[in-house]
Structure 1
Amino acid sequence: MTVDATAPPGKRMTVPPPRDTLGRRGSVFLSRHRRLRLTLLLSAPLFWLGLIYIVALVALLITSLWTVDTFTGQISQTWTLENIITVLTGSLYQTVTVRTVGVALLVTIVDIVIALPIAFYMAKVASPRMQRILVIAVLMPLWASYLVKAYAWRSVLSQEGILNWLLAPFGGESPGYGLPATIITLSYLWLPYVILPIYAGLERVPDSLLEASSDLGGKTVSTLRLVVLPIIWPAIIAGSIFSFSLSLGDYITVNIVGGANQLLGNLVYTNVGAANNLPLAAAIALIPIVIIFGYLATVRRTGALENL
């Protein structure tokens, strides 16, 4: 029992101590064991992630081992490596895989080249008020529908579009529909996802390092190459993960502006829909999954995943 010292004299009374309830004991126990508290806190979302993502990947792998009956069109759950062998040895799938990886790499390179000066200006040159305005400007394209932006670029890149009208007086013309149009459209779509990680990485670069490099006679290019770039390299890789992985699995943009070209996503879509061959579609879908897992395993040591 304790005495309530805040009460007026003559009216002081004893206050019973807090009851040692089970909830209070559990709270005290968790406050002393931080790792256990973190484990319990993350258990629910990690379980949900495992249920939705990991189980889906396992189901995809199992489905790729099935076949489709050529007479009835029904899926036969007899396990075979026929679909995987077809995907690995077929010239069509090899060509489309090379094309898909090439498009994803070009989109990533274009986005990084454009994002670096924009992010540097936002982080090191612009005033705090201008920084907020630029961040909003970078995020604004994400507020619009994916299809609206893709069809807008289809209109811009068409032979009667505004780009052809602007280039015609100089003897140029729009690239029209094809792989260049696909790269341009995908680069625009994923550019905000590359700018923001690089901007966050540049904000963590101390201004004192730039001033020290200038005081020691370092030129702008040398400072960027020897001081800034090694520090923000994980942020650049983090941005590349977004653009590379999103381009690797895209199929809608190719249907809109890609002309007759196909990427892996288009083959998956075709086999799920028109061909009604779900096992083959699952086998094709394993290709970009393996590629992106290999890429993530390669960049994991750079610390880029911590910038996501």
Structure 2
Amino acid sequence: MTPGRKLLGHIALLVPPFGWLGVFYLGSLSVLLLSAFWQVDAMSGEIVRDWTWENFRILFSDTTYTVIARRTTGIAILVTITDIILAWPLAWVIARKVGPRLKLTLLVLVALPLWSSMLARIYAWRLILGHDGVLNWGLRLVGLPDQNVAFTNIALWIVFSYLWLPFMLMPMVAALERIPASLLDAAGDQGATPWQVFRTVVFPLAIPGMAAGSVFTFAVTQGDYVAPMLVGGAGSEFIGNVVYSNVGVSGNVPFAAAFSLILLAMVAAYMLLARRFGAFDAQ
């Protein structure tokens, strides 16, 4: 086969996926960007396609939306930190302390919840955290007072940390597996304590894996709107809930697009930060 025909063959293979990406993903983002600068006529309810910054002025001047944005970002950061802490022990055991067969078993157990519906897992946590749920039942057995965590931001934090933990664990396992055993042996031969080995060798080399996992946990928490509706309380509204209500209830698509752009900007900024820590080099 001549080089020219080989090149045409490669182009033919790439055109369908890149065409799909360009039309349905980049195209929809372009429409989103444009509609964010439109408005809805208050009298007719029709979209007015005149260039205006009014949607963004409302978002930045109304404290309700700034509070929602801070809540969304704050809980996303808290979930990311929590998942890093929870993932470390299990990731270390899977990557460095067990044999191939047990490692495969543990990885399957970690991924097993992902095979079930997210709604089923969220409703399971409602049963656990409810007033008459498993949590309070266990507390009553040991003589402790009931905890009113259902339909609060605490419940939202717990549920999100559970939902996205596998997405943090997998990149961390991959990063820890890449650490050469010779480095750990050399550090020990030099008289380093286990804590010093962890602080100076293991942790720095695991940063790309943590950064890669944090991209998943931060981005999906930021964009979620199902969990806040099902397990959050009156003060648990996320950006996604505002976008959903403006699209599906009030029909104010331009305002929803403007808030979506702010959400995309925050996620993009976080991805750029994660890239500086080698998030995408580790994968």
- TM-score, reference length from structure 1: 0.86
Q: Deviations over 1:189-220 (max 9, x none)?
A: 10000000000111111111112212222111
- The reply on whether 1:306 has 2:278 as its aligned counterpart is no
**2-structure distance, mates of 1:125, 1:224:** 15
Shift in Å, 1:42: 4.4
Question: Residue 2 of structure 2 aligns with which residue?
Answer: 25
Shift in Å, 1:91: 0.7
Q: Deviations over 1:146-190 (max 9, x none)?
A: 100011111111010001111232424332211000010011110
Q: Contact 2:207–2:278 (CA<8 Å) still a contact in 1?
A: no
Question: Residue 279 of structure 1 aligns with which residue?
Answer: 254
Question: Residue 144 of structure 2 aligns with which residue?
Answer: 171
**2-structure distance, mates of 1:254, 1:189:** 13
Alignment of 1:152-167 (within 5 A): 152-167=124-139
Question: Residue 212 of structure 2 aligns with which residue?
Answer: 238
Question: The residue matched to 2:2 in structure 1 has which SS?
Answer: helix
What code does the residue aligned with 1:73 have? G
- TM-score, reference length from structure 2: 0.93
Question: Residue 130 of structure 1 aligns with which residue?
Answer: 102
Question: Residue 19 of structure 2 aligns with which residue?
Answer: 47
Shift in Å, 1:26: 3.7
What code does the residue aligned with 1:49 have? L
- The reply on whether 1:293 has 2:265 as its aligned counterpart is no
Alignment of 1:90-169 (within 5 A): 90-168=62-140, 169=142
What code does the residue aligned with 1:150 have? I
**2-structure distance, mates of 1:28, 1:281:** 47
- The reply on whether 1:192 has 2:166 as its aligned counterpart is yes
Range with bigger deviation, 85-94 or 233-242: 85-94
Higher relative contact order (CA 8 A, sep 6+): 2
Question: Residue 49 of structure 2 aligns with which residue?
Answer: 77
What code does the residue aligned with 2:144 have? G
Shift in Å, 1:41: 5.2
Q: Contact 2:215–2:274 (CA<8 Å) still a contact in 1?
A: no
What code does the residue aligned with 1:266 have? N
Shift in Å, 1:133: 0.2
**2-structure distance, mates of 1:46, 1:163:** 49
CA 1:39–1:232 in 2, change beyond 3 Å: closer, same or farther? Answer: farther
Shift in Å, 1:37: 8.2
Question: The residue matched to 1:176 in structure 2 has which SS?
Answer: coil
CA 1:214–1:38 in 2, change beyond 3 Å: closer, same or farther? Answer: farther
Pairs aligned (count): 280
Instruction: Identify unmatched segments of 5+ residues in structure 1.
Output: 1-23, 31-35
Q: Deviations over 1:25-62 (max 9, x none)?
A: 247865xxxxx987775454333223222222111111
Which structure has the larger Rg?
1
Question: The residue matched to 2:157 in structure 1 has which SS?
Answer: helix
**2-structure distance, mates of 1:58, 1:156:** 43
Shift in Å, 1:224: 1.1
**1-structure distance, mates of 2:143, 2:182:** 46
RMSD: 1.9
**2-structure distance, mates of 1:103, 1:117:** 23
CA 1:125–1:37 in 2, change beyond 3 Å: closer, same or farther? Answer: farther
Question: The residue matched to 1:305 in structure 2 has which SS?
Answer: coil
Question: The residue matched to 1:307 in structure 2 has which SS?
Answer: coil
CA 1:37–1:218 in 2, change beyond 3 Å: closer, same or farther? Answer: farther
CA 1:46–1:94 in 2, change beyond 3 Å: closer, same or farther? Answer: same
**1-structure distance, mates of 2:31, 2:107:** 40
**2-structure distance, mates of 1:170, 1:137:** 33
CA 1:162–1:218 in 2, change beyond 3 Å: closer, same or farther? Answer: same
